[in-house]
Amino acid sequence: MKYRSWILIFLAACYLTLSTISAFRLSRSQPTERISGSAGDVLDDNPVGRLKVFVYELPSKYNKKILQKDPRCLTHMFAAEIYMQRFLLSSPVRTLNPEEADWFYVPVYTTCDLTPNGLPLPFKSPRMMRSAIQLIASNWPYWNRTEGADHFFVVPHDFGACFHYQEEKAIGRGILPLLQRATLVQTFGQRNHVCLKEGSITVPPYAPPQKMQSHLIPGKTPRSIFVYFRGLFYDVGNDPEGGYYARGARAAVWENFKDNPLFDISTEHPTTYYEDMQRAIFCLCPLGWAPWSPRLVEAVIFGCIPVIIADDIVLPFADAIPWEDIGVFVDEKDVPYLDTILTSIPPEVILRKQRLLANPSMKQAMLFPQPAQPGDAFHQVLNGLARKLPHDRSVYLRPGEKLLNWTAGPVADLKPW
Amino acid sequence: MKLLSAFRSSYLNRRGTAFRSLDPSSFDGGFIPPKPSSSPSSIFWLLIHCLCCLISLILGFRFSHLVLFFLFSTSVTNLYTTTNGGVSHHLLQLKPNVTEKSSRVVVGRHGIRIRPWPHPNPIEVMKAHQLLQRVQEEQKSLYYGASSRSPRTVIAVTPTYVRTFQALHLTGVMHSLMLAPYDVVWIVVEAGGKTEETASLIGRSRLIKKTIHVGFEKKMPNTWEDRRRMESEMRVEGLRIVREEKLDGVVVFADDSNMHSMELFDEIQNVRWFGALSVGILAHSGNADELSSALKTTDREGMPMPIQGPSCDSSGKLVGWHVFNTQPYATKSEVYVGDKADVMMMPSKMEWSGFVLNSRLLWKESVDDKPIWVKDVNSLLDGGNEGIVDGPLSLVKDPSMVEPLGSCGRSVLLWWLRVEARADSKFPPGWIIKSPLDITVPSKSTPWRDPSKLPVKNNQPAMEKRSGKPRGPESNNSKGKQEPKAFDGIKSSATR
């Protein structure tokens, strides 16, 4: 009996010392909060074993030769399509047996036709996509089996599969008719928009991970900038009168806050851009010609709360990441009152948002590192695809049933590539 | 004609929302006129369209664009309000089945919203600064640990004496202490007894919680060696005061000639009993040539700007001390204060300012958890200065137990630089000029009129002014520009 009390005292002492040690260690690092989106705590899910992906072997004129012609495609913000293929080729979810595959991936680089400035031209992309689909439809039976409903494509261009950089023209074209049943993995997302179809997976644009990691500064540097933004406010080349670019929102930010000491905004390209973001509390992420921007990724990596000024935007992995809790959403009509909105946020809310941003799984989910790491954007895409399984019975067509119209769309798109 | 059609198509492209009736996919070909239909609205739009084309041909693109803009805007109270409301109304009339999903985002030209007074609101700026402060407090508590939750008083001990550069040095220390976000008790020990000048300097520090100004009877000697010894004695006197007043906090030796960084005060909060910091030594020489040659010789050996402080191995344990090596400068060191310019002023081997201690070590009562590796400072202070003035390490029995601060001595938190004037240099007491200066020279660039030169006549002041003062050529100034006469003086001086 005597020994039992001694054992209890000993265990209690052990517990106390261990708890103080762990508390001490925790206090030294940034506390984080768990992130649970509408799909649950899914950022840390492992997709391996939950789905199987078959990668089509397309001739290299669809992927490798295009990349060889212009290696700039590896570093611009549309590089996700290239890295996705590389990741899938060496990933454990890949299967070489198409009969057991749940999803089929078509590696075609539609965004790699660049101008000398580095901007992608989308004029040949519909034809390229169409020719790739014709190839797989004629060489493998899996496309015709479902008319593409269990295939997925990566279309990271400005307006996704509408394949145009001007919004009006993109809306006019609509999503490529052949892709109507396929799942699209795209960066563009806006509610009630023609170019975002039901069931698409929104991903962040590509941002070079090593470059961002190399510009990290010590976490104890005090955040002394209130609002930070670097970029264009007026696009004088394409929109001289203003009002078209960014639906006038960026110009409104400039006109209202150019003399405000709290707003560190300008059009310069400083070399300390990444370091400055780490010294700011809020980073503006307004829309440009398209609603999405790599600034969101940079803000999340550097712990700066993103202020998203884009009406009805759908942010990356919106079902897994609770963006409402992490960022601040401002309507475009409220831009003139941005300073009032930001200063009226209670400090506890700001601190909570910073804790959520500090969560390493959040930062990992926004990146496309090479080689792939668990929890990164590739895995989130696979998680999203896995959540859509099992396929509905209606996906598989009865023999002879045809749902796609192979001759729909503008005449120019029907020419072979 | 091709240019004209291209011009028109680009024009239509920009005004796309108003002219949606045209087939948008026809732009890669050429300009296709709309099919005539019997509905009056489309004929009306066709007529308007032709009229617009004619206007744009005659007036040019921009002006006609503006005319159309005004024609179609529904609210004209503010030039910059949005017009998309009116335009989309027309859009829906023409083609009701463009989009069945009701999106509140309309594609096209929007106005740039500017609020009525687009300037910073001071209340918002205040709130934002409070938010910034709150975020920075949170950051501090994360990275400096539990110490930021119960900040300790900083007890600064400063030996000083009246000299030319005293105001320079003491103001620097005072501002550093005023900026530190902690309670500060400042103990100033002055050689030669308390003086009014020092007292008035110290009295300007309104933010420092408590200042204790004590006089030390002996006067400051003239050689550097003796001065260092005297300063050590003054510091010990300061420690005695800490003991008497039973001050609780961290004792810092804030020499008045040192430069302190703000991180220093954050870092010393972490000391438990006796800590050591890295001090950057900016030993200098007044002569630039000598300095560069001295630097070249020291480059071969090591750093030209040495650092005094703790040195750790890779696991963070204290293994030794970086000490200032006086050997390279043996022949060149100053002996007397304010010596010739080509000698260098040396710090001592271990500066007092690189060490901080917990004030409880000095208390008379026995504190329970006093570490055994520190000597009984209490008895040392009672017994005179001999044991202590050798250096700060004479206060500890076991120097290897001293806590290294500032990421184990890797960050330099304060700098030593002793700049002193000659011992016999003169300066006005209190830096206040009581008597008028002997020589006055008229300033050549006063923008206002010299009252002694006001003219008798009232209607020709400008001419008087120009002739009164010697100036450069002024013909270029009076080249037919109409200037108001009252501001002539300002204008002519501004164009110099």
**pLDDT band (50, 70, 90) for residue B33:** very low
What mean pLDDT is predicted for residues B101-117? 81
Query: Before B34, cis peptide (omega within 30)?
Result: no
Asked whether the beta carbons of A109 and A67 are under 8 A apart, the reply is yes
Asked whether the beta carbons of B271 and B406 are under 8 A apart, the reply is no
Q: How far apart are CA A224 and CA A221, in angstroms?
A: 9
Q: Which residue, A195, A202, A204, is CA-closest to A159?
A: A195
User: Does the structure show a pLDDT above 90 at B19?
Assistant: no
Residue with tokens 């049943």: A181
Q: Which residue, B32, B23, B25, is CA-closest to B5?
A: B32
Give B454-484 pLDDT, tens digit per residue: 655 544 444 444 444 444 444 444 444 444 4
| Residue A73, min C-alpha distance to chain B (Å) | 27
User: Does the structure show a pLDDT above 60 at B412?
Assistant: yes
From B103, B109, B139, residue closest to A222, measured CB to CB: B139
B318-322 and B307-312 strand pairing = antiparallel
A183-186 and A151-154 strand pairing = parallel
Looking at residue A382, its pLDDT comes to 92
Spell out which residues of chain B touch residue A255, defining contact as CB-CB under 8 Å.
Answer: 112, 114, 118
Spell out which residues of chain B touch residue A347, defining contact as CB-CB under 8 Å.
Answer: 130-131, 134-135
Spell out which residues of chain B touch residue A337, defining contact as CB-CB under 8 Å.
Answer: 115
Neighbouring-strand partners of residue B160: B190
Q: Which residue, among B131, B148, B270, B410, would best test binding to A if mutated, counting the most A CBs under 10 Å from its CB?
A: B131
* B134-148 per-residue burial string, b: 16 or more CB within 10 A, e: under 16: ebbebbbebbbeebb
Cα B149 to Cα A131, A300, A406, B152: the distances in Å are: 66, 28, 69, 10
Q: Which residue, B253, B414, B202, B231, is CA-closest to B337?
A: B231
Q: How far apart are CA B52 and CA B60, in angstroms?
A: 11
Q: How far apart are CA B302 and CA B296, in angstroms?
A: 10
What mean pLDDT is predicted for residues B66-92? 46
Looking at residue A275, its pLDDT comes to 94
Q: Which residue, A205, A114, A202, A181, is CA-closest to A391?
A: A181
Q: Which residue, B81, B133, B339, is CA-closest to A226?
A: B133
Q: How far apart are CA A115 and CA A112, in angstroms?
A: 10
What mean pLDDT is predicted for residues B267-271? 86
Looking at residue B341, its pLDDT comes to 47
- Amino acid at residue number A137: A
**pLDDT band (50, 70, 90) for residue B304:** low
Which of the pair, B280 or A13, is modelled with greater confidence? B280
What percent of chain B clears pLDDT 90, i.e. is strictly above it?
9
- Amino acid at residue number B493: S
Looking at residue B486, its pLDDT comes to 43
**pLDDT band (50, 70, 90) for residue B64:** low
Neighbouring-strand partners of residue B454: none
**pLDDT band (50, 70, 90) for residue B181:** confident
User: Does the structure show a pLDDT above 80 at B98?
Assistant: no
- Side-by-side strand order, sheet with B412-416: B258-260, B412-416, B278-281, B307-312, B318-322
Q: Does B136 touch chain A (CB under 8 A)?
A: yes
**pLDDT band (50, 70, 90) for residue B367:** low
Smallest CA–CA distance from B66 into chain A, residue: A241
Q: How far apart are CA A95 and CA A364, in angstroms?
A: 25
Looking at residue B147, its pLDDT comes to 63
Residue B215 backbone dihedrals phi, psi, to 5 degrees:
-100, 145
The angle subtended at Cα A29 by Cα A27 and Cα A32, nearest 5°, is: 95
- Positions in chain A whose pLDDT score sits under 70: 1, 9-29, 39-40
CB-based contact B136 A219, cutoff 8 Å: no
The angle subtended at Cα B439 by Cα B434 and Cα B441, nearest 5°, is: 120
Asked whether the beta carbons of A80 and A206 are under 8 A apart, the reply is yes
Residue A52 backbone dihedrals phi, psi, to 5 degrees:
-130, 135
User: Does the structure show a pLDDT above 60 at B495?
Assistant: no
**What architecture (CATH level 2) is domain A209-367?**
3-Layer(aba) Sandwich (3.40)
Asked whether the beta carbons of B198 and B169 are under 8 A apart, the reply is no
Joined together, the tokens standing for residue B245 give 């007043």
Looking at residue A413, its pLDDT comes to 79
Give B211-225 pLDDT, tens digit per residue: 888 888 888 777 778
What mean pLDDT is predicted for residues B28-38? 44
Which of the pair, B438 or A28, is modelled with greater confidence? B438
**pLDDT band (50, 70, 90) for residue B133:** very high
Query: Before A92, cis peptide (omega within 30)?
Result: no
Q: How far apart are CA B15 and CA B24, in angstroms?
A: 12
The angle subtended at Cα A127 by Cα A125 and Cα A132, nearest 5°, is: 95
Q: Where are the domains of chain A?
A: 53-206+379-388, 209-367
Residue with tokens 């997709």: A47
Range with top average pLDDT, A224-228, A393-397, B426-430, B487-491? A224-228
Complex ipTM above 0.90? no
Mean of pLDDT over chain B: 71
Model pTM above 0.90: no
| Residue A222, min C-alpha distance to chain B (Å) | 6
| Residue A127, min C-alpha distance to chain B (Å) | 16
Provide the 8-state DSSP code for B445. Answer: T
Q: Which residue, A247, A367, A194, is CA-closest to B103?
A: A194
User: Does the structure show a pLDDT above 60 at B332?
Assistant: no
User: Does the structure show a pLDDT above 80 at B197?
Assistant: yes
Asked whether the beta carbons of B416 and B456 are under 8 A apart, the reply is no
Smallest CA–CA distance from B144 into chain A, residue: A28
Q: Which residue, A279, A271, A267, is CA-closest to A225?
A: A279
From A28, A169, A256, residue closest to B114, measured CB to CB: A256
**pLDDT band (50, 70, 90) for residue B408:** confident
B451 SS3 class? helix
Smallest CA–CA distance from B29 into chain A, residue: A412
Joined together, the tokens standing for residue A285 give 């992420």
CB-based contact B119 A260, cutoff 8 Å: yes
Looking at residue A308, its pLDDT comes to 96
Asked whether the beta carbons of B326 and B225 are under 8 A apart, the reply is no
User: What is the 3 state secondary structure string of chain A?
Assistant: CHHHHHHHHHHHHHHHHHHHHHHHHHHHCCCCCCCCECCECCCCCCCECCECEEECCCCHHHCHHHHHHCHHHHCCCCCHHHHHHHHHHCCCCECCCHHHCCEEECCCCCCCCECCCCCECCCCHHHHHHHHHHHHHHHCCHHHHHCCCCEEEECCCCCHHHCCCCHHHHHHHCCCHHHCCCEEEECCCECCCCCCCCCCEECCCCCCHHHHHCCCCCCCCCCCEEEEEECCCCCCCCCCCCCCHHHHHHHHHHHHHCCCCCEEEECCCCCCHHHHHCCEEEEEEECCCCCCCCHHHHHHHCCCEEEEECCCECCCCCCCCCHHHHCEECCHHHHHHHHHHHHCCCHHHHHHHHHHHHCHHHHHHCCCCCCCCCCCHHHHHHHHHHHCCCCCHHHCCCCCCCCCCCCCCCHHHHCCC
Q: Does B102 touch chain A (CB under 8 A)?
A: yes
Q: Does B104 touch chain A (CB under 8 A)?
A: yes
Q: Does B108 touch chain A (CB under 8 A)?
A: yes
- Side-by-side strand order, sheet with A225-230: A263-266, A225-230, A280-286, A305-309, A328-329
Q: Which residue, A216, A27, A301, is CA-closest to B140?
A: A27
Asked whether the beta carbons of B290 and B388 are under 8 A apart, the reply is no
Looking at residue B489, its pLDDT comes to 40
Asked whether the beta carbons of A154 and A185 are under 8 A apart, the reply is yes
Q: Does B24 touch chain A (CB under 8 A)?
A: yes
